[in-house]
Amino acid sequence: MAATHAHSPATHWEPGSRALKDAAREALAAQGVQWTGLRETVFDALAEGDRPVSAYDVADRVSALTGRRIAANSVYRILDLFVANNVAKRVESRNAYVANRHPTCAHDCIFLVCEACGRIDHLDDDRLADGMRSRAGAAGFDPSRAVLELIGRCTACRTTS
């Protein structure tokens, strides 16, 4: 999971796109994880926009899409599975999830969280992330996961206020 490497922008896809969904399905298949109907619907609900969504919001969207109620627990399980397989990312400061835009490629994503509109953008900077990990390693710490988030204002919100 911590393996990071350089790659072309072609391995990043737009949220809600067919290409992102295909890449997510392939990433799961590569780990031997089945892409069931319910998992697909959860992914659709998650990938709908560029805002992080809570498991409860995902459950609501899935209910709206399928016309039947789904337990938040089932959604949590699927979201955890997605995170474990690099198909989704958790935005810790929002206690929410986003579809991973590069499911075929492992990075410690740096999230830019807009506190005005809730939009999130993201950067990948392996030098920065790997630097943090190696500093931690040198201090005798074994990092399993990096949480890199900047809270502030997005370009749109900066220009409208």
Binds Zn ion (CB under 5 A): choice among 117, 136, 147, 150 = 117
Q: Which of 24, 114, 120, 148 binds Zn ion (CB under 5 A)?
A: 114
* Contact flag: residue 38 with Zn ion (CB under 5 A): no
Q: Is the Cβ of residue 36 or residue 155 nearer to Zn ion in the bound state?
A: 155
CB of 71 to Zn ion, least distance (A): 30
- The angle formed by the CA atoms of residues 85, 151 and 86, to the nearest 5 degrees, is 5
The encoded tokens of residue 30 equal 């590569």
Question: Which residue lies nearer to Zn ion by CB, 70 or 154?
Answer: 154
Cα 119 to Cα 92: distance, rounded to the nearest angstrom: 14
Judging by DSSP bridges, how do beta strands 110-114 and 148-152 pair with one another?
parallel
- E strand residue ranges, the chain: 88-91, 96-99, 110-114, 120-123, 148-152
Query: For Zn ion, which stretch binds (CB under 5 A), given 21-29, 43-51, 119-127, 143-151?
Result: 119-127
Applying CB under 5 A, does 107 fall inside the site for Zn ion?
yes
Per CB under 5 A, does 124 bind Zn ion? Answer: yes
Q: How many residues does the chain have?
A: 161
User: What's the min distance (Å) between Cβ of 39 and Zn ion?
Assistant: 21
Distance CA(17)–CA(13), nearest Å, equals: 7
Question: Which member of 28, 109, 120, 129 binds Zn ion (CB under 5 A)?
Answer: 109
How many beta carbons lie within 10 A of that of residue 39, not counting itself? 18
Minimum separation from the CB atom of position 108 to Zn ion (A): 8
Report the interface residues with Zn ion, using CB under 5 A. 107, 109, 114, 116-117, 119, 124, 154, 157
